[in-house]
């Protein structure tokens, strides 16, 4: 048996061990050495991909699905710590089987006192009874706002200076920064709390106060109910006018359309069709050459259309389906009645072609002026994203309100908003001039009123740019030459500003249900 069935000495040794220890099954030994390891859903292993420099890299990925096509298997992988839009189907040749990690079985949660559904208390997380009265266990958005109003920070004075040692402008604000301890001689000046650099979600979080996810509008931030279906892209390709788009995320189009190699959309009414012949037949009947609704802005070839989600429900739903292919953090709602959609188009001889859009609630208790915002991939990196953001704030100026986008922002949305906020605020600060030989004064509230940017976003932008410093008992804003030169270069690239004179918009009072 040793030489006939086990030519390898190592395998023969294991078979010999079976006779010494009968519990070691020969079937188990056979599976180890002769059976190919199956990669199943939930496994993790390095996968070959190309990075931005077109170089090979092997990031760790998780297998989300496996499918068989004639002749081979395909694996749908999600790269750990990468955005979901990079998920893709890969062949077995791109998998590093040597570092395969099988999914771990989840241990059952122990129960407390033997009662089902209850967990044992953790000694490290137990809060003394005296502190439990001060910390809310479940804090809703309204409770959080009440807590913010109860704790009002002291009034502080901020000076703006181009040279750190020679302040030129003087600012005052009723802000939210805490007053730091005075500087002591012989010690290095420390950054005051909440005035230094901030992380990407600083404007969304609060110290020690958990905020409940907002369950209204177009945003549900709780992703605990995602299943394997919604984690995978279900549309391979979309043809929209003269462009073919590769979707980034799942979108709930009808199931029978997800198996098609190409999904065809009418670029004017956004109706989805299953074949090119059906699209050609539809175009002979479709009379639209622009989005439905009112054209409220036009300058050059750029136009904006205001669309009521109740009056144009079919178009609004089709727009949401298309947008969901490129927005992952938003939850799609078929009830479009509470929303207005502002679609940006580019005009040519064939009609008005959709470039991007943003939506907003008709009534927002949180002063949101944007719910979802998207620039379609063929038009990205051309300045259209900032144009959409600027237009949303122009509407807020006409309404006489300050606004902010719904949180959380996507990675690309956060970059666009931060860039717009930075350029807008720096433009105001650099335009300030001395008044009668004295330093001009401006408040954070005045900046907010001029730009319609919410005060919290103004402060977070100043923190992100690291402009706020504490010097000789006062807060100063330090604009270095690098920041000024960088701002001037950025403003030269903005070739598409919004002209308020071309805006024809009358706000409505949506609190009256008759307006709906």
- What is the reported pLDDT for 20? 54
- What is the reported pLDDT for 409? 84
pLDDT band at 318 (very low <50, low <70, confident <90, very high): very high
More confident residue, 111 or 145: 111
Distances, alpha carbon 112 to alpha carbons 107, 108, 119, 123, 128, in Å: 15, 13, 5, 13, 20
pLDDT band at 300 (very low <50, low <70, confident <90, very high): very high
Tokens of 262: 């190409």
Tokens of 44: 């993790």
Best-predicted range by mean pLDDT among 183-187, 266-270, 440-444, 485-489?
Answer: 266-270
- What is the reported pLDDT for 135? 39
CB 260 within 8 A of CB 337: no
**Measured distance CA(419)–CA(46) in Å, rounded:** 35
More confident residue, 1 or 413: 413
Closest CA to 232 of 59, 64, 66: 64
- Does the pLDDT value for residue 60 go beyond 60? yes
Q: Give 147-211 as a DSSP string.
A: HHHHSPPPPEEEEEESBTTB--EEEEE---PPPPPPP-TTSPPPPPTTSS---TTTTT--TT-PP
**Partner residues linked to 503 by β-bridges:** 297
CB 493 within 8 A of CB 383: yes
Tens-digit pLDDT profile for residues 366-391: 989 999 999 999 999 899 999 999 99
- Does the pLDDT value for residue 361 go beyond 60? yes
- What is the reported pLDDT for 237? 95
**Measured distance CA(354)–CA(283) in Å, rounded:** 16
Closest CA to 271 of 285, 259, 260, 261: 285
CB 468 within 8 A of CB 164: no
- What is the reported pLDDT for 8? 54
Lowest mean pLDDT among 134-138, 294-298, 327-331: 134-138
**Measured distance CA(272)–CA(253) in Å, rounded:** 9
Angle of helix 411-431 relative to helix 455-464, nearest 10 degrees, comes to 90
SS3 at position 123: helix
- Does the pLDDT value for residue 341 go beyond 90? yes
Tens-digit pLDDT profile for residues 450-484: 999 999 999 999 999 988 877 777 777 778 888 88
What is the CB neighbour count within 10 angstroms for residue 378?
Answer: 14
pLDDT band at 103 (very low <50, low <70, confident <90, very high): confident
CB 206 within 8 A of CB 144: yes
pLDDT band at 399 (very low <50, low <70, confident <90, very high): very high
Best-predicted range by mean pLDDT among 58-67, 424-433, 487-496?
Answer: 58-67
pLDDT band at 167 (very low <50, low <70, confident <90, very high): very low
Quick one: average pLDDT of 387-412?
Answer: 92
- What is the reported pLDDT for 365? 87
Tokens of 507: 């706000």
- Does the pLDDT value for residue 199 go beyond 50? no
**Measured distance CA(253)–CA(270) in Å, rounded:** 13
- Does the pLDDT value for residue 241 go beyond 50? yes
36 exposure class (CB count in 10 Å sphere: 0-12, 13-18, 19+):
exposed
- Does the pLDDT value for residue 210 go beyond 60? no
362 exposure class (CB count in 10 Å sphere: 0-12, 13-18, 19+):
middle
Quick one: average pLDDT of 105-127?
Answer: 49
- Does the pLDDT value for residue 262 go beyond 90? yes
Share of the chain above pLDDT 90, in %: 43
Residue 115 per-residue DSSP state: B
**Measured distance CA(369)–CA(360) in Å, rounded:** 6
Q: Among this protein's residues, is 406 annotated catalytic? A: yes
| Residue tagged active-site, from 406, 427, 446, 456 | 406
Phi, psi (rounded to 5 degrees) for 355: -110, -40
Global pTM reads 0.70
Residue 2 per-residue DSSP state: T
Quick one: average pLDDT of 162-182?
Answer: 37
**Measured distance CA(490)–CA(423) in Å, rounded:** 8
Quick one: average pLDDT of 257-283?
Answer: 95
pLDDT band at 22 (very low <50, low <70, confident <90, very high): low
CB contact set of 81 (below 8 Å; sequence gap of 6+): 59
**Partner residues linked to 307 by β-bridges:** 341
- Does the pLDDT value for residue 434 go beyond 50? yes
Q: What is the mean pLDDT of the chain?
A: 75
Quick one: average pLDDT of 222-250?
Answer: 83
Quick one: average pLDDT of 102-112?
Answer: 64
**Measured distance CA(72)–CA(326) in Å, rounded:** 30
CB 357 within 8 A of CB 374: yes
**Measured distance CA(325)–CA(233) in Å, rounded:** 8
Place of tokens 């009662």: 115
CB 380 within 8 A of CB 386: no
More confident residue, 301 or 467: 301
What is the CB neighbour count within 10 angstroms for residue 123?
Answer: 6
pLDDT band at 70 (very low <50, low <70, confident <90, very high): confident
pLDDT band at 407 (very low <50, low <70, confident <90, very high): confident
- What is the reported pLDDT for 12? 58
Distances, alpha carbon 330 to alpha carbons 320, 399, 412, in Å: 10, 26, 14
CA dihedral over 398, 401, 405, 406, signed as positive or negative: negative
- What is the reported pLDDT for 137? 38
pLDDT band at 190 (very low <50, low <70, confident <90, very high): very low
373 membership: H or E segment, kind and range:
strand 372-375
Share of the chain above pLDDT 70, in %: 67
**Measured distance CA(274)–CA(8) in Å, rounded:** 57
- Does the pLDDT value for residue 268 go beyond 90? yes
- What is the reported pLDDT for 4? 46
**Measured distance CA(130)–CA(133) in Å, rounded:** 6
**Measured distance CA(8)–CA(13) in Å, rounded:** 9
> Residue 174, Cα to own-chain centre: how many angstroms?
30
The backbone region for 49, taken as left when phi is positive above 0, alpha when psi lies in -120 to 50, beta otherwise, is beta
What is the CB neighbour count within 10 angstroms for residue 277?
Answer: 10
pLDDT band at 28 (very low <50, low <70, confident <90, very high): very low
Lowest mean pLDDT among 211-225, 437-451, 483-497: 211-225
Lowest mean pLDDT among 233-237, 320-324, 487-491, 503-507: 487-491
Quick one: average pLDDT of 250-270?
Answer: 94
pLDDT band at 204 (very low <50, low <70, confident <90, very high): very low
């Amino acid at each position: 048996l040793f030489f006939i069935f086990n030519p390898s000495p190592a395998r023969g040794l294991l078979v010999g061990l079976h006779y010494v220890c009968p519990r070691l099954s020969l079937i188990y030994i056979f599976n180890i050495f002769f059976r190919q390891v199956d990669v199943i859903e939930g496994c993790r292993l390095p996968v070959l991909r190309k990075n931005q420099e077109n170089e090979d890299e092997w990031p760790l990925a998780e297998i989300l699905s496996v499918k068989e096509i004639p002749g081979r298997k395909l694996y749908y992988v999600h790269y750990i710590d990468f955005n979901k839009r990079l998920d893709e189907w890969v062949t077995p040749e791109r998998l590093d089987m040597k570092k395969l990690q099988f999914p771990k079985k989840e241990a059952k949660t122990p129960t407390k006192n033997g009662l089902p559904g209850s967990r044992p208390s953790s000694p490290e997380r137990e809060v003394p009874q005296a502190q439990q009265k001060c910390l809310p266990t479940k804090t809703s958005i309204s409770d959080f706002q009440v807590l913010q109003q109860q704790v009002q920070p002291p009034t502080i004075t901020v000076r703006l200076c181009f040279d750190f040692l020679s302040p030129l402008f003087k600012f005052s604000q009723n802000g939210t920064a805490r007053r730091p301890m005075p500087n002591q001689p012989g010690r290095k000046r420390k950054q005051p709390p909440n005035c230094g650099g901030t992380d990407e979600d600083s404007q969304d979080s609060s110290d020690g106060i958990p905020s409940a996810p907002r369950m209204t509008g177009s945003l549900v931030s709780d992703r605990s109910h995602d299943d394997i279906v919604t984690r995978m892209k279900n549309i391979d390709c979309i043809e929209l006018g003269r462009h073919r788009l590769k979707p980034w995320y799942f979108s709930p189009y009808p199931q029978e359309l997800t198996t098609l190699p190409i999904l065809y959309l009418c670029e004017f009414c956004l109706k989805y069709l299953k074949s090119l012949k059906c699209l050609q037949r539809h175009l002979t009947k479709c009379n639209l050459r622009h989005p439905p609704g009112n054209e409220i802005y036009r300058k050059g070839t750029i136009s904006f259309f205001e669309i009521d989600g109740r009056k144009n429900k079919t178009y609004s739903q089709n727009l949401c389906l298309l947008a969901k292919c490129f927005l992952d953090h938003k939850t799609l709602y078929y009830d479009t009645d509470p929303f207005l959609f502002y679609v940006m188009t580019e005009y040519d001889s064939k009609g008005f072609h959709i470039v991007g859009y943003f939506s907003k609630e008709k009534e927002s208790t949180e002063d949101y002026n944007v719910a979802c915002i998207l620039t379609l991939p063929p038009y990205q990196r051309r300045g259209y994203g900032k144009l959409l953001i600027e237009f949303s704030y122009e509407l807020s100026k006409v309404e006489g309100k300050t606004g902010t986008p719904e949180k959380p922002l996507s990675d690309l949305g956060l970059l666009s908003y931060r860039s717009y906020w930075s350029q807008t605020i720096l433009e105001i600060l650099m335009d300030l001039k001395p008044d009668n030989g004295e330093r001009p004064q401006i408040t954070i509230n005045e900046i907010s009123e001029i730009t319609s940017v919410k005060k919290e976003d103004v402060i977070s932008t100043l923190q992100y740019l690291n402009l706020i410093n504490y010097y000789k008992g006062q807060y100063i804003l330090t604009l270095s030459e690098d920041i000024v030169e960088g701002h001037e270069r950025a403003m030269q690239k903005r070739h598409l500003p919004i002209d308020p004179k071309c805006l024809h918009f009358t706000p409505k009072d949506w609190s009256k249900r008759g307006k709906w």
